[in-house]
């Protein structure tokens, strides 16, 4: 991993096992820069929440080291780490008012009453709940309760804030509003945030960088645009956004590109993904919006990849249309087109050509899951 200029949070060779036989987290290494918003993203059971709980001190580290601002906290108790935490279920005290909930972490730290009042008022204003201090959590909406939970995590001015799927219980509109709210507060306060989610759109929208997990291993740690446009392997390509994966046999052509013979016999070319040398089974990855549908008026550009496919169906999604095709070997292909006058009119069963640029596709080794059984904890 490249050393970043101002590393604030560091994981070194961290492992976690619950049964001494299999590893939930395997040799985890990560550097987070001061003030970054980093998201741990992955499917259920991938190890992301376990990493967050070890960082918070709620789970013990089996081996390895976690450092915050150059100081090891691996064996420190949670209260010694000075970390703000936002949980999925808000974790507010129901018998306390909003103001009392916000004041609680300050009272525990034995701050003067005058400073507590000042900070509570400031925090209520920060999350735009100035007139809600006397209410109890049960009198608030889900979004309001989440804002209170966020304000409580920030009120004692921690340098590091952790969030464990805090928006998963909210509806789509409210979730998007809270994404904006959290991003706004992060920009305003400049603290370091580590956020756990399985929602890829949420991660892409909010993060400076994203660590994509699978089976306790970070598959790629990069900025959102790099993850989407230049995925490191087939798992990242398929997990981040919609993606088409077409099987074939590849031959790496030195430093130029990869030639792949697809299972239905057609030959295409792709830029290097993680398929860089030799020959063997290969997967071509191409995003649905990078594919074009060839017509008499829109022939494929010279030098592009071209394959024949049978039109199956289309779904109207508002601002775009999702077209479904099938290759001769049964592989399904999705093409996205804008919902405008240029959208082609196709008949079910119609055969047509699909085209895409060599630089918009990548060659990957077939997706495999890292072995987690039998590793030595």
Look at residue 340 in the predicted model and tell me its pLDDT. 80
Helix (H, G, I), strand (E, B) or coil at 30: strand
Residue 196's alpha-carbon distances to 28, 41, 187, 362, 368, in angstroms, are 16, 6, 18, 28, 24
CB contact set of 43 (below 8 Å; sequence gap of 6+): 198, 213, 214, 239
The sheet that has 25-33: what strands, in order across it?
A: 25-33, 7-16, 63-68, 71-72
- Catalogue the E-assigned strands of 242-294: 244-252, 258-262, 267-272, 279-286, 292-293
Averaged over successive runs of 10 residues, the pLDDT of the chain (377 residues) comes to: 71 93 90 96 89 96 96 94 87 93 93 94 90 94 89 90 88 86 88 93 94 90 95 92 93 86 90 88 95 86 93 91 93 91 83 94 78 41
CATH number of 7-229: 3.40.50.300
Task: Please report, for the chain, the start and end positions of each structural domain, with discontinuous segments joined by +.
Answer: 7-229, 242-364
Question: Are 185 and 37 a contacting pair, CB within 8 Å?
Answer: no
Question: Are 31 and 1 a contacting pair, CB within 8 Å?
Answer: yes
Look at residue 219 in the predicted model and tell me its pLDDT. 93
Residue 285's alpha-carbon distances to 19, 116, 345, in angstroms, are 37, 55, 26
Look at residue 368 in the predicted model and tell me its pLDDT. 59
Residue 73 DSSP code: -
CB contact set of 327 (below 8 Å; sequence gap of 6+): 246, 262, 264, 307, 308, 309, 310, 333
- For domain 242-364, the CATH class is mainly beta
Place of tokens 């935490």: 85
Q: What is the pTM of this model?
A: 0.87
């Amino acid at each position: 991993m490249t050393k970043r200029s101002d590393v604030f949070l560091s994981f070194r060779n961290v492992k976690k096992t619950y049964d001494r036989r299999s590893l939930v987290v395997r040799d985890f290494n990560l550097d987070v820069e001061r003030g970054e918003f980093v998201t741990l993203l992955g499917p259920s059971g991938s190890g992301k929440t376990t990493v967050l709980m070890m960082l918070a001190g709620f789970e013990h580290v089996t081996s390895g080291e976690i450092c915050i601002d150059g100081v090891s906290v691996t064996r420190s108790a949670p209260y010694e780490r000075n970390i703000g935490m936002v949980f999925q279920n808000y974790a507010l005290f129901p018998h306390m008012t909003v103001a009392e909930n916000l004041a609680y972490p300050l009272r525990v730290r034995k701050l003067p009453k005058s400073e507590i009042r000042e900070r509570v008022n400031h925090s209520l204003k920060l999350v735009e709940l100035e007139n809600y201090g006397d209410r109890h959590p049960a009198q608030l909406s889900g979004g309001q309760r989440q804002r209170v939970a966020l304000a409580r995590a920030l009120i004692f001015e921690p340098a590091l804030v952790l969030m464990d799927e805090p928006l998963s219980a909210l509806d789509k509109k409210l979730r998007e509003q809270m994404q904006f709210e959290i991003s706004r507060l992060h920009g305003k306060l400049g603290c370091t945030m580590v956020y756990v989610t399985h929602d890829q759109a949420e991660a892409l929208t909010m993060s400076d960088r994203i660590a994509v997990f699978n089976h306790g291993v970070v598959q790629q740690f990069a900025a959102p645009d790099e993850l989407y446009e230049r995925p490191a392997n087939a798992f990242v390509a398929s997990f981040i956004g919609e993606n088409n994966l077409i099987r074939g046999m590849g031959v790496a052509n030195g430093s130029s590109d990869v030639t792949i013979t697809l299972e239905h016999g057609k030959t295409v070319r792709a830029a290097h993904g993680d398929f860089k040398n030799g020959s063997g089974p290969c997967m071509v990855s191409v995003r649905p919006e990078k594919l074009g549908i060839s017509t008499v008026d829109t022939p494929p550009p010279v030098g592009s990849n071209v394959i024949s496919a049978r039109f199956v169906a289309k779904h109207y999604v508002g601002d775009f249309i999702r077209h479904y095709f099938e290759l001769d070997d049964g592989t399904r292909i999705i093409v996205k087109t804008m919902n405008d006058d240029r959208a082609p009119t196709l008949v079910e069963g119609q055969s047509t050509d699909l085209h895409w640029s060599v630089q918009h596709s990548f060659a990957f080794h077939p997706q495999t899951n890292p072995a987690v059984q039998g590793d030595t904890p």
